[in-house]
Amino acid sequence: MAISKNQHLKMQEKRDRILEKAISLFSEQGYNDTTISKVAKASGISFGSVFTYFPSKEDLFHSAVIEPIEEINSIMLDFNPEAEDSLNELKIMVNSHINLFAKLSTYLQLVVQVIGQHSRFKDQFDELNFFHNEFCSKLALLLEKGQKKGQIRESDPIFAASAYFSLLMGLRLTMTDEIDEKFWGNFAPFALQLFGPISYTKSISRLAKPKAAYSNR
Amino acid sequence: MAISKNQHLKMQEKRDRILEKAISLFSEQGYNDTTISKVAKASGISFGSVFTYFPSKEDLFHSAVIEPIEEINSIMLDFNPEAEDSLNELKIMVNSHINLFAKLSTYLQLVVQVIGQHSRFKDQFDELNFFHNEFCSKLALLLEKGQKKGQIRESDPIFAASAYFSLLMGLRLTMTDEIDEKFWGNFAPFALQLFGPISYTKSISRLAKPKAAYSNR
Amino acid sequence: MAISKNQHLKMQEKRDRILEKAISLFSEQGYNDTTISKVAKASGISFGSVFTYFPSKEDLFHSAVIEPIEEINSIMLDFNPEAEDSLNELKIMVNSHINLFAKLSTYLQLVVQVIGQHSRFKDQFDELNFFHNEFCSKLALLLEKGQKKGQIRESDPIFAASAYFSLLMGLRLTMTDEIDEKFWGNFAPFALQLFGPISYTKSISRLAKPKAAYSNR
Amino acid sequence: MAISKNQHLKMQEKRDRILEKAISLFSEQGYNDTTISKVAKASGISFGSVFTYFPSKEDLFHSAVIEPIEEINSIMLDFNPEAEDSLNELKIMVNSHINLFAKLSTYLQLVVQVIGQHSRFKDQFDELNFFHNEFCSKLALLLEKGQKKGQIRESDPIFAASAYFSLLMGLRLTMTDEIDEKFWGNFAPFALQLFGPISYTKSISRLAKPKAAYSNR
DNA sequence: GATGAATGAGGCTTCATTCAT
DNA sequence: CATGAATGAAGCCTCATTCAT
């Protein structure tokens, strides 16, 4: 019993290792240039063993795209749409998102590929899109509340949410260097600006001062 | 002589057709899943003839990514950084960009792929990046002027330009459906908002009303 | 363990079979007309399996040319340059070489191709040339000794060795039919004659009588 | 009329130029690696024009191998089998042959390829072989006469002729460097030695002194 | 006759998947 | 369950030959 449990744990670890390396490789080299053999080598596992844990390359890719979603989404959705001080809630949310995107460079590159070739990766895209819609809807609620309270200017909340998400993805797409979190932080004010914060008007100049020089890319 | 000219024209046309189809296929199916055979079939020519016009698949891809840049860039850079009414210049520019991005769905999807896998497509990415830097620099000039005149709020102009470009790319990434230009128009106010327009404060609510329903994606 | 050893043996056998067939085909049909597919079929294995044993066609060719060298060279070099009776040593050596060349028809045809197109097969040629030089140097020692003892006439030993080697190669080139060893034996006296044997003068007429009719080629 | 003649001359020149370059390329790069395109470029002639002069690549190769034979053969056969002083005739012949082989490096490399792959180039080989037999027969006559006169030792004249031809080919095969005629001259005594010249016994030591150092190949 | 674009057969090589050990 | 050899489909590319101009 204990042995079996141990065995099970080891296998879980192995599976995780494969998946981690697969995400890395898929994101850097794309689907076709990532061969099973490369994944196996990177994972320190024999060639054939990959098929013990994932029935096919397609499945491995699917897992690589889908499995991390949940954790990420819980962070993305970690704000209170009913918050009294909507603007403050937005600020906190934006900072949290920026931090997240700064960290998840590798995985998000994979997401970009899936979105960029959504007809090729239809299944994966549909799942990503589901979460995207969920996110926009929830954020729209918060924005609506803020608008009602006069904390942010009127605008279509779904569009605003969508634009905000696009900005995050666009930043992730554009910031190709290994850029540290502080640098990313500089974009938080601009992201917030999208929502049209009213009391925020004055402070932008202060916040928007770069904390790190914009290295010439 | 006249015949040779005619011949030459026909070849140019054929080359254009191949390139057009290649852009289409590369953007939808990615580099690896776009086979030369598919491109040939789509262009209505024989397999081997593709190699008459492009020495290798690699070269075809390169041309597909690089050749359209110039025309696009001339539109992207078509604004006056010395304009007296900076804000107005920005508005016009944003609308022009939004229109451009709305139309170039196919090609830009290809650009997204190159950026998304910049280490794989290093050469192409470097060229794209060159234009990106050029664009940000020029836009920064306009923003600086607007800030001096008090038309837009203070913020680091390079960051602002970069955020703006990211938003455009992010929108292009996220708007996967065949969405018409009117719909895209709804995002113009948000894009402008990034720059922190001061006299613009009131009008956002008016402009930001959707001209088309946000289709369920 | 035993199984793995068995496995290993089987693979070795398979590799040997591929190489043998490859030598055969390369020597008869040349590099380009010998397709991997032909080699696979001749070896009774699948197309792709050839690549399990040899990374590329180029490598297969290289192995086909190089691997047999060592064994052949040990026979070629199997004479004593310090022998007291130089002439007798030469006679024995010549017979041994003639026997060798008579037997190795297939492989030597491959060698001929490599030498004949040394700029195309530079790597292989260089290795062959190394052995050629080694051989000529050693033979020259024996000839020098024989000359000092007055058993063979004076002449530049390196030239003589080189001429001897050329004769062997030339015979192998010219004798295209499947000619048996006895027939080859008839050329031994001529080969020896190259060295200018002195006490040998009389016997040539006896030895040089053909043991087999010169088949109409 | 005159124009047509001129035209005809020009075409003949063109054909010759193509053939010359083809021999060069075939001999250096082999049949398959010599493309029609390379031949055309080397000849300064358009791609398609090659087919005006030679119906197919196969034919071009055939011409490249066969057409030079006649001239060469007339030199090879330029000795008198009835000569009174057989030995002297042989000496002159050997020198002439050695000179010929020294000069024809390129073409003979092509001959080597044909012989080396006689089953692949059957037609060409058969023609070469015809000349080879003719040559051996004629030389055998001269040798027989010399033997009768006691100028050379007894041996089967056909074998001797064959060995002699093999030595020439072998030297051509082995001397891969661009070696000048003087160097080649050093091998003449060895060639003559094959026939077992009787009055020649003493002179070998003199003749066999190298006229040029045997460069370390 | 000269040119070079068009064609497609055929070669090498890669790689996901299967399966025996 | 782990391993890695076996397989063959599919892709890129070359090149002899044809043919329209």
Domain limits, chain D: 1-55, 62-199
**Pure H helices in chain B:** 2-33, 36-43, 50-53, 57-66, 69-76, 86-103, 105-116, 122-148, 157-174, 181-185, 188-193, 204-207
Q: For A160, name the nearest residue in chain B, comparing CA atoms only.
A: B190
CA-based nearest distance D26→chain C, Å: 10
Look at residue A197 and give its three-state secondary structure.
strand
Of C84, B28, B92, C128, the C-alpha closest to B20 is B28
Mutate: best of A38, A105, A117, A136, partner B, most B CBs <10 A:
A117
For CA atoms A113, A117, A118, A123, the dihedral sign is negative
Question: What's the maximum distance between 2 C-alpha atoms anywhere in chain D?
Answer: 65
- List the structure tokens of D211: 């006229």
Of D56, D65, D64, the C-alpha closest to D17 is D64
Question: How many angstroms separate the CA atoms of D131 and D135, rounded?
Answer: 6
Tell me the C-alpha to C-alpha distance, in Å, between residue C122 and each of A70, C42, C65, D34. Answer: 59, 27, 12, 17
**Amino acid D48 CA to nucleotide F18 C1' distance, rounded Å:** 10
Q: Token pair 């004055």 is at which residue?
A: A202
Decide if B43 contacts B17 (C-beta within 8 A): yes
- List the structure tokens of D5: 């003649």
Contact B169 A173 (CB under 8 A): yes
How much is the average pLDDT of D31-49?
A: 95
Of C116, A159, A206, the C-alpha closest to B155 is A206
Mean confidence (pLDDT) of chain D:
88
Q: Token pair 């006559």 is at which residue?
A: D141
CA-based nearest distance D93→chain C, Å: 18
Which nucleotide lies closest to A8 by the C1' atom and the CA atom? F1
User: Residue A194: exposed, middle, or buried by beta-carbon count in 10 A (0-12, 13-18, 19+)?
Assistant: buried
**Amino acid C57 CA to nucleotide E11 C1' distance, rounded Å:** 11
How much is the average pLDDT of B40-55?
A: 96
**Amino acid B15 CA to nucleotide F15 C1' distance, rounded Å:** 21
Question: How many angstroms separate the CA atoms of B120 and B32, rounded?
Answer: 12
Look at residue D94 and give its three-state secondary structure.
helix
**Does CATH number 1.10.357.10 belong to domain C62-199?**
yes
CA-based nearest distance C52→chain D, Å: 26
CA-based nearest distance D82→chain C, Å: 22
Question: How many angstroms separate the CA atoms of B137 and B141, rounded?
Answer: 7
Q: What's the full length of chain D, in residues? A: 217
Q: What is the DSSP letter of C197?
A: B
Q: For A190, name the nearest residue in chain B, comparing CA atoms only.
A: B194
Please determine, for residue D203, whether its predicted confidence score (pLDDT) is greater than 80: no
Query: Using a CB-CB distance cutoff of 8 angstroms, which residues of chain D are in contact with residue C162?
Result: 174, 214
Which nucleotide lies closest to C14 by the C1' atom and the CA atom? F5
Question: How do residues B70-117 score in pLDDT, each as one tens digit?
Answer: 999 999 999 999 999 999 999 999 999 999 999 999 999 999 999 999
Please determine, for residue A212, whether its predicted confidence score (pLDDT) is greater than 70: no
pLDDT at A8: 74
Which nucleotide lies closest to C34 by the C1' atom and the CA atom? E11
pLDDT at B213: 45
**Amino acid B47 CA to nucleotide E9 C1' distance, rounded Å:** 11
For CA atoms B57, B58, B59, B65, the dihedral sign is positive
pLDDT at B182: 79
Q: How confident is the model at residue D201 (pLDDT cuts 50, 70, 90)?
A: very low
End-to-end CA distance of chain A: 56
For CA atoms D27, D29, D34, D39, the dihedral sign is negative
Question: How many angstroms separate the CA atoms of A21 and A131, rounded?
Answer: 24
pLDDT at A3: 54
Q: For C121, name the nearest residue in chain D, comparing CA atoms only.
A: D29
Please determine, for residue A208, whether its predicted confidence score (pLDDT) is greater than 50: no
For CA atoms D101, D104, D105, D110, the dihedral sign is negative
> Cα torsion for D10, D12, D14, D20, to the nearest 10°?
-150
Determine which of A25-34, A127-136, A181-190, D35-44 has the lowest per-residue pLDDT on average: A181-190
Decide if A86 contacts A150 (C-beta within 8 A): no
Q: What's the full length of chain C, in residues? A: 217
Contact A133 B190 (CB under 8 A): no
Q: What is the DSSP letter of D150?
A: T
- Relative orientation angle of helices D69-76 and D86-103, to the nearest 10 degrees: 150
Of A153, A155, A165, the C-alpha closest to A201 is A153
pLDDT at D10: 83
Tell me the C-alpha to C-alpha distance, in Å, between residue A163 and each of A88, A166, B174. Answer: 19, 5, 9
What pTM was estimated for this model as a whole? 0.88
3+ Cβ–Cβ pairs closer than 8 Å linking B and D: no
pLDDT at D6: 74
pLDDT at C183: 86
- Which amino acid residue lies closest to nucleotide F9, measuring CA to C1'? C48
Question: How many angstroms separate the CA atoms of C2 and C8, rounded?
Answer: 10
Decide if B54 contacts B63 (C-beta within 8 A): yes
CA-based nearest distance D217→chain C, Å: 7
CATH of the domain spanning A1-55, picked from 1.10.10.60, 3.10.20.30, 3.40.640.10, 1.10.460.10: 1.10.10.60
pLDDT at B216: 40
Decide if A188 contacts A78 (C-beta within 8 A): no
**Amino acid B8 CA to nucleotide E15 C1' distance, rounded Å:** 41
How much is the average pLDDT of D100-104?
A: 93
Output b/e per residue, A54-85; b: 16+ Cβ within 10 A: beebeebbbbbbeebbeebbeebeebebebee
- Which amino acid residue lies closest to nucleotide E10, measuring CA to C1'? C35
Mutate: best of A25, A164, A167, A172, partner B, most B CBs <10 A:
A167
Tell me the C-alpha to C-alpha distance, in Å, between residue B13 and each of A77, B16, B18, B45, B94. Answer: 51, 5, 9, 12, 33
Look at residue A165 and give its three-state secondary structure.
helix
Please determine, for residue D211, whether its predicted confidence score (pLDDT) is greater than 80: no
Per-block mean pLDDT, blocks of 10 residues, chain C (217 long):
70 95 95 96 95 96 96 96 94 96 93 93 95 96 94 93 96 82 89 84 45 43
Q: How confident is the model at residue D2 (pLDDT cuts 50, 70, 90)?
A: low
pLDDT at D114: 95
Question: How many angstroms separate the CA atoms of A154 and A161, rounded?
Answer: 13
Decide if B190 contacts A155 (C-beta within 8 A): yes
Please determine, for residue A4, whether its predicted confidence score (pLDDT) is greater than 70: no
Q: How confident is the model at residue D199 (pLDDT cuts 50, 70, 90)?
A: low
Tell me the C-alpha to C-alpha distance, in Å, between residue D68 and each of B210, D51, D59, D110. Answer: 85, 20, 14, 11
Of C143, C194, C152, C139, the C-alpha closest to C170 is C194
Contact C174 D194 (CB under 8 A): no
Q: For D175, name the nearest residue in chain C, comparing CA atoms only.
A: C166
pLDDT at B49: 96
Mean confidence (pLDDT) of chain A:
87
Q: Token pair 């720059």 is at which residue?
A: B195
User: Residue B91: exposed, middle, or buried by beta-carbon count in 10 A (0-12, 13-18, 19+)?
Assistant: buried
How much is the average pLDDT of A40-61?
A: 95
Which nucleotide lies closest to D11 by the C1' atom and the CA atom? E1
